[in-house]
Amino acid sequence: MATWIPTTGIPSKMRLDDIPIVDLDVHLLEDPDDLATCCDQPWRQVIERRQPIPPFGGGYRLFPNFPGQWEPRRPISITPAALRGDLDALSIDLAVLFPEFCLGLARQPEPAYAMAVARAYNRWIMDRYLTRERGFYGGILAAPQDPEGSAREIERYAGEERVVGVVLPTSGVNPLWGDRRYDPIYEAAQAAGLAVMYHAGGSLQMPALPFDTRQFDSWFSLHTYSHNVALIASLANLLGAGVPVRFPRLTMVFIEAGLSWVAHALMRFDWAWRQHNDGLTLLTEPPSAYLRRMYFATQPIEEPESLADMADIIRIIGEETVLFASDYPHHDFDHPKKVYDIPVPIEVKRKIMGENALRALGIPMPDARQRAPRPLAMER
């Protein structure tokens, strides 16, 4: 574990200009009409007709809303140029792109349709975003319903420079991602040198987390814990199944649950390991040793009264494993300044805001042509 404390003798001011910013979680609002043009028949017509099934169906919401509080909307994708302009305004140099509605793909009961949607999304993001505008990277969407088909998708795009990972949505996945049926996905990702990126979310409209959400009695209680419980359940399952041992070269990234749950997991998993570890027979080291080789994105970053508390959380987790993420364009997205202002040493700011992500995903350092302008310079 890294041990550092804020030190004296560092420059009194440090501008954001000096730091490459890599955003580990930028969402695309995929329009079904766009994906339909990339989808094979007969499933293309299912998307076009808006059948009420995931990921594009309307439907059931766990909690009612007062009139006007929430209204169904037709998704409208963000153009690459508009997205690039918004990220430039936030001083974000490079962005790793994720789906929005397709994060609910695991809830689709028809395997062939799920795989068709995943293939369509992968064609769409590749053609629309990853071959045109500067600074965009992305992950290939895997369908848990068809691990072999997903492995073929990984192999198909493995040589693409802007493809840096495999998106594994956690909402509604059954069984969890540690199950051996998913080994073809992990084998293909490891062989290709692509990270597997476990993304929480897409779970607030249905009781579809890795636990029964019907005991939550409000949106507040569900939203507070849905994302981090989804990731901690997934991580415990991955450790129990020995995935980090069986695939030792696999880079694992956990996204959209903040950071405090990671500190809890580090200590709680090791406590359980010491007490009773016969359920973790494949692990040759304490669970924390494996977690320290994984990566964790910051959004939604916790906002304690004292930001020094977040510095302590980062110290516990490890400065090499924390990755900045904004969750753009959601209403609760994090401006880079939220993470940048955490009182950690300058070299740690550089790691969190960009250098860790470049190393984890094998992305080259952006040159001057790839850098965003700095309209909102931030000083240390």
In a domain, 7, yes or no: no
User: What pLDDT is attached to residue 1?
Assistant: 32
Q: What is the structure's pLDDT at 156? A: 98
pLDDT at 337 over 70: yes
Mean pLDDT of the chain: 86
| Cα distances (Å, whole numbers) of residue 138 to 82, 181, 196 | 17, 24, 12
Q: Specify the range with the lowest mean pLDDT, choosing from 132-136, 145-149, 302-306.
A: 132-136
Residue 161 has pLDDT above 80, yes or no: yes
Residue 378 lies in a domain: no
- Residue 282 maps to a domain: yes
H/E stretch holding 254 reads strand 252-255
pLDDT for 8:
33
Contact in structure between 117 and 105 (CB atoms under 8 Å): yes
pLDDT of 216 above 90: no
Question: What pLDDT sits at residue 4?
Answer: 34
The answer to the question of residue 219 being in a domain is yes
How far is residue 148's CA from residue 144's CA, in Å, rounded to a whole number?
9
pLDDT above 90 covers what percent of the chain?
A: 66
Mark out the alpha helices in the chain (DSSP H runs): 32-37, 43-48, 80-89, 111-128, 147-157, 183-192, 219-240, 243-246, 260-275, 287-291, 308-317, 336-340, 346-350, 356-361
**pLDDT band of 10, cuts 50, 70, 90:** very low
In a domain, 5, yes or no: no
Q: Read off the pLDDT band of 3 (50, 70, 90).
A: very low
The model's pLDDT over 217-249, given as tens digits with 9 standing for 90+, comes to: 777 777 777 888 889 999 999 999 999 999 999
According to DSSP, the residues that pair with 296 across neighbouring strands are 254, 322
Task: Report pLDDT for 57.
Answer: 57
Would you state the pLDDT for residue 67? 59
> What does the alpha-carbon distance between residue 23 and residue 304 come to, in Å, rounded to a whole number?
22
- pLDDT tens by residue, 104-132: 899 888 999 999 999 999 999 999 999 98
Q: What is the pTM of this model?
A: 0.90
CA distances from 151 to 97, 115, 154, 177, 200 (A): 20, 11, 5, 14, 21
What's the pLDDT score for residue 73? 54
Domains of the chain: total: 1
Asked whether residue 29 is assigned to any structural domain, the reply reads yes
Q: For residue range 180-211, what is the model confidence (pLDDT) as tens digits?
A: 999 999 999 999 999 999 999 755 445 556 66
Which CATH number goes with the domain that contains 211? Answer: 3.20.20.140
Tokens representing 69 are 């509080």
Task: Return the pLDDT at 218.
Answer: 75
Residue 41: both structure tokens together: 């028949």
Residue 15 vs residue 114, higher pLDDT: 114
> Can you tell me the mean pLDDT for 67-81?
66
CB-side neighbour CA atoms (13 Å) of 374 = 13
Residue 33 has pLDDT above 60, yes or no: yes
> Which residue range forms the structural domain that includes residue 226?
18-58+74-361
Q: Is residue 298 part of a domain?
A: yes
- CA 320/CA 323 separation, integer angstroms: 9
Question: Is the pLDDT at 34 greater than 90, yes or no?
Answer: no
- The span from the CA of 58 to the CA of 351, in Å, is 41
* DSSP for 159-172, written as a single string: T-TTEEEEEEE-TT
- On the question of pLDDT at 288 being above 80, the answer is yes
Q: Which helix (H) or strand (E) holds 199?
A: strand 195-199
